[in-house]
Structure 1
């Protein structure tokens, strides 16, 4: 409805732009209506799911806007996943149909062999030599449908509380989970961020973040569209072309993750940087040591750092621009704020409880897990937890009897601290999952991929801190037999894992430390890291230039530590 209203008000004003195509608000609305009618023609029921596997492009928005306006749910698949990992994401969505971009058809085909049965497939576009293997070309098929505004009978009775999207998140442990995202949540994110950024019709957002994530796919796009502004969609981030794009597309806003800002600082800027008109950069994960350098070197008037999660039920905003802080709740507002930081037991990876069985709030400056209060009656949409497609996964995220009998709070899986002024600071992820290159990496998935390689007896994956980088890099401790081959392992992992999930470091020893219940211990491995002066096991590094695991000695360690080697 919002896009239809903007189409009437803004008409031919650009809504979505890219190197390959541009949609005005009117064209976007018409395109979405065609996809809506196509979905109805497929017999898609309300709450029926369609999976979408497509790189960033304006068409991406048109597809999910159209399908969701008639009550369908669109599951946004990660384009980096392959084989069993991609198949897992498709399975848990339980789709009635899958839409795949032609260039990702091979990846889908590899995943399809892991599915229990065939799923109706439509392909968007074509690639040279592509064989018609019984699927339909949806980009051609939708031209049969009209683009005029949907009639009331076509819209069905779709409420704000109904699901619109499934967005995948690794959570704190295990394989990706599909988080339910309602129409209300999409609208809330869009209007809230539009207000936070003071988005205007004259603004143009530069969005190079993956559209299968909530920030790139909903926040960056929705906040500008509801304000009547436009969004420049790039398929991938490129430090080399970034400033040329910013100037060429006349962008005033940039949606970042912290790692992108670090890349820009460490890259030579083009002459175009002097001509940019960026007035605000909005995002998360910008480290304090990168913040000021980024702001000053590139003359950025304002940085808006925030904290939020796809499935989360509270958000934080750093409106004051304090470097390193993810948000602030002034002390006088703290009592009524629906979030808390509670003491955390690092050994059990669970919040600590007192002698009465209740959680304990952290003191100012103390590190603990952040949790958000779930509305008892669901009356406050902002504090709802919409859960995952799996009820079991949903229940695992909920803490009960936290501060009183019968209350419920949502675990964020994030360790934080709060200072005396009310500023919050992100410290680390709880549990095994870590972030690298802006993506969540599930150690269970990595360990299983390594363990399936011939010659590997046992594997334990984890993340380690690397000086000068965001998040943690992947590392794995291995026990191997005489048939093990490093070259074969790298090829094996390249086929099964996204680049960001493949371990950057390996340590090969004779045994792995386990608990009395045979669970692998990671704490000591993480603490020792990849320093050859500390680790007695054989160490290897996935060299970016050589594209091979090479022995990690003291000299190479110093190069990595100094940031000489770009990871």
Structure 2
């Protein structure tokens, strides 16, 4: 380990942490230590272990189906044999397009058990956006839920690949996956049947927008799956008596691997909601007798803004785990809903380090005890917004930030003990290389660029500041400005488009805004319909600004900073402004009165 790696993060040692924090860290270390000792043990094997120990214990619960551990293990083996029967072995990719449900987990656990790779497609995508995600995965097969058949049909004209289609659902007729499974036994798979798959093999492709461009497919090895599951099982103190409520999309790493994997690792139960609903949330928590739930910050804010209901304090919750909970929401959220403990964390699907706020410090994304610095080698470096790169000194080295100074978070790439510092990259090698910063503190070293600005406070806690680049986060989703701009300029009458995110009072993240140059044939109503057909709801621009021309930098790049600074305030912006009115299904004029309603939180975005 280099001196730079050893001093990258200065955090209090375990001896100075609260006893509960120390116990959480030690539990996580103990669980994850097993990963390296047993390199052929996968998450499906943890399920099989619990199936033999507590076969009747509930594993996955959803409105569509429910599995105890015995049933889940059998279903996993059925999908594993189906995969082998159709030539899906090590390195063969299967794309999965399905809403949240228990069988989603059974499918990817079964396929990856025999070496297949499963691409978890965003269930909200349609058309060209969905086709792009399918093509970057280059799957040999695709499983499509019946209810998402229309979405896949809209993508077909844009596909460059031609995966074999399997329809999921009992009422499927053509290409029925259920019919294929019916002929396959679900008896426990023997050692002779099962190919050798190790923790270093790729398990999943999970999509992330990164900091620029269209969604990229990040490689996720079985090692990462097991590490995520193990760390969170330990840090949350999960036991077989626990039930976690998961209303996040399970095509994402948090909703689909962290929340689910940690409880399956611990022998607990996962309650999978098809989608988040503030109205049903507390009733579901009580009905399923949940003790934990997984959140994103926006979810918590929705709950705080919702009217009080009796069940919001009649629960047995002991912990909420997630990321993005703002400091100004944290304490109100915890007090109103009587939640004993909150575990906030920072991580990314492709990133090579994580931060955990085990102590429950409001507004912080975490800190690390010094004895774990070698597993999570990270640093904050000064950033230049004009160049879009970290600042270099006279020797060409990056400059570490002082306490309280915001900079880009980076993680040292290496083969550190138990997988720390690993960067597994994307399916596209050029995309992977763009995330690597070289010769950072010493000749030849390499660090992963998170694209996130953070600062470290006087107590050693890291605090999130903002995202770098064109990607902004809205409704818990990363939105790639270039993809939105492409959809806008494909609309008749739109000559040019500059897409950026703007802060909105009473909302987390940044909402999409587009500055448009328009010409003959432009129609606001047609634009609204055009975007509804091509982009998921969270990616459609909420605000429009009509400009005679777009400003460019000296290198002919769009000058966004002025537009971002102007925001959508008609007292500042003299150009025509519009806001998307979802209730009316169109863009409406954004005048002083409408701006006031948005600023007060009286207009639904």
State the alpha-carbon separation in 2 of the partners of residues 93 and 493 from structure 1.
25
Per-residue deviation, 1:380: 4.5
Residue 68 (structure 2) pairs with residue 68 (structure 1)? no
* CA pair 336-227 structure 1, distance change in 2 beyond 3 A: closer
Conserved in 1, the CA contact under 8 Å of 2:375 and 2:419?
Answer: no
SS in structure 2 of the partner of residue 189 of structure 1:
helix
1:319 aligns with 2:358: yes
**SS of residue in 2 equivalent to 1:241:** helix
Specify the alignment match of 2:391 in structure 1: 352
Where 1:520 maps in the other structure, the secondary structure is coil
Partner residue, 2:510: 472
The one of 39, 53, 66 aligned to 1:9: 53
The one of 390, 394, 413 equivalent to 1:374 is: 413
Q: Are the counterparts in 1 of residues 320 and 342 from structure 2 also a CA contact under 8 Å?
A: yes
Q: What is the DSSP-based 3-state SS (H/G/I as helix, E as strand, rest coil) of the residue aligned with 2:331? A: helix
Paired position in structure 2 for 1:163: 202
How many Å separate the matches in 1 of 2:116 and 2:367? 37
Residue segments in structure 1 that go unaligned for 5+ positions in a row: none
Equivalent residue in structure 2 for 1:341, among 380, 384, 400: 380
Matches within 5 A, 1:488-527: 488-527=526-565
Residues 1:122 and 2:166 aligned together: yes
- 111-120 or 420-429: bigger deviation: 111-120
Alpha-carbon separation, structure 2, partners of 1:566 and 1:46: 48
Q: Is the CA contact 1:4–1:149 (under 8 Å) kept in the aligned structure 2?
A: no
Does residue 24 of the first structure (1) align with residue 62 of the second (2)?
A: no
Match of 1:277 in 2: 316
Aligned to 2:157: 113
Structure 2 counterpart of 1:94? 138
- 1:109 to partner: Cα distance: 1.0
Among 224, 229, 253, which residue is 1:214 paired with?
253
Secondary structure in 1 matching 2:48: helix
Match of 1:82 in 2: 126
Q: How do 1:262-273 and structure 2 match up within 5 A?
A: 262-273=301-312
- Quote the residue 1:239 is aligned against: 278
Residue 430 of structure 2 corresponds to: 392
* 2:519 maps to 1:481: yes
Conserved 8 A contact 2:170-2:178: no
Greater mean alpha carbon deviation, residues 211-220 or residues 328-337: 328-337
C-alpha distance in structure 1 between counterparts of 2:179 and 2:58, whole Å = 23
3-state DSSP of counterpart to 1:78: coil
CA distance in 2 between partners of 1:244 and 1:195 (Å): 28
> Closer, same or farther in 2 for the Cα pair 1:364/1:279, shift >3 Å?
same
Q: What secondary structure, in the 3-state scheme, does the structure 2 residue paired with 1:153 have?
A: coil
Q: CA deviation at 1:484?
A: 0.6
Output aligned runs, 1:175-324, within 5 Å: 175-324=214-363
Q: What CA distance in whole angstroms lies between the structure 1 residues aligned with 2:47 and 2:250?
A: 18
SS at match of 1:388: coil
CA contact (8 A) 1:170 1:177 kept: yes
Q: Give SS of 2:420's match.
A: helix
Distance in structure 1 (CA, Å) of the matches to 2:375 and 2:397: 19
Q: Please state how far the C-alpha of 1:116 moved relative to its aligned partner.
A: 2.1
User: Does the 8 Å CA contact 2:94/2:119 hold for their aligned counterparts?
Assistant: yes
Provide the rounded CA distance (Å) in 1 between the counterparts of 2:369 and 2:55.
Answer: 42
Q: Tell me, what secondary structure is at the counterpart of 2:232?
A: helix
- TM-score w.r.t. structure 1 length? 0.97
Q: Deviations over 1:517-543 (max 9, x none)?
A: 221111111111000011111000001
- Normalised by the length of structure 2, the TM-score is 0.91
Are the structure 2 counterparts of residues 117 and 314 from structure 1 closer, same or farther at C-alpha, using a change threshold of 3 Å?
Answer: closer
Most deviating of 108-117 and 418-427: 108-117
Q: Tell me how far apart the structure 2 counterparts of residues 355 and 154 of structure 1 sit (CA, whole Å).
A: 60
* Partner of residue 149 from structure 1, selected from 185, 188, 199: 188
Q: Is the 8 A contact 2:376 2:421 kept in 1?
A: no
In the TM superposition, what is the alpha-carbon distance from 1:113 to its structure 2 partner?
1.2
Measured after TM superposition, the shift of residue 330 of structure 1 is 5.5
Q: Answer yes or no: is the 8 Å Cα contact 1:76–1:166 preserved in 2.
A: yes
State which of 477, 481, 484 in structure 2 corresponds to 1:439. Answer: 477
Do 1:35 and 1:63's aligned partners in 2 also have CA atoms closer than 8 Å? Answer: yes
Alignment RMSD (CA, Å): 1.4
1:103 aligns with 2:147: yes
Contact 1:173 1:442 in 2 (8 A): yes
Assess if the C-alpha contact under 8 Å between 2:354 and 2:376 holds in 1: no
Moved over 6 A (4+): 331-336
Cα distance change on mapping 1:266 and 1:445 into 2, 3 Å: same
Is residue 34–residue 143 contact of structure 1 (8 Å, CA) maintained in 2?
no
Q: Which deviates more, 221-230 or 148-157?
A: 148-157
Task: Provide the rounded CA distance (Å) in 1 between the counterparts of 2:386 and 2:179.
Answer: 56
Match of 2:603 in 1: 565
Q: For residue 117 of structure 1, report the CA deviation from its aligned partner.
A: 4.4
Q: Secondary structure in 2 aligned to 1:47?
A: coil
Q: 1:383 Cα shift?
A: 1.2
Unaligned runs of 5+ residues in structure 2 are 1-44
| 1:35, distance to aligned residue in structure 2 (A) | 0.4
Q: Deviations over 1:383-418 (max 9, x none)?
A: 100111111111110000000000000000100000
Distance in 2 (alpha carbons) for counterparts of 1:254 and 1:367: 31
2:290 partner SS = coil
Aligned partners of 1:337, 1:32: CA distance in 2, in Å?
A: 33
Q: CA deviation at 1:194?
A: 0.5
Contact 2:138/2:161, CA 8 A, preserved across alignment: no
Cα pair 1:331 1:422 within 8 Å, conserved: no
Match of 1:552 in 2: 590
Classify 1:336/1:190 alpha carbon distance in 2 versus 1 (closer, same or farther; 3 Å). Answer: closer
Cα distance in structure 2, aligned partners of 1:490 and 1:534: 25
Aligned residues: 561
Secondary structure class of the residue paired with 1:226: helix
Give the aligned partner of residue 497 of structure 2. Answer: 459
Which residue of structure 2 aligns with residue 140 of structure 1?
179
2: CA distance, partners of 1:45 / 1:252: 38
In 2, the alpha carbon distance for the partners of 1:335 and 1:448 equals 42
- Does the 8 Å contact 1:123/1:138 carry over to 2? yes
* Larger mean Cα displacement after TM superposition, 117-126 or 415-424: 117-126
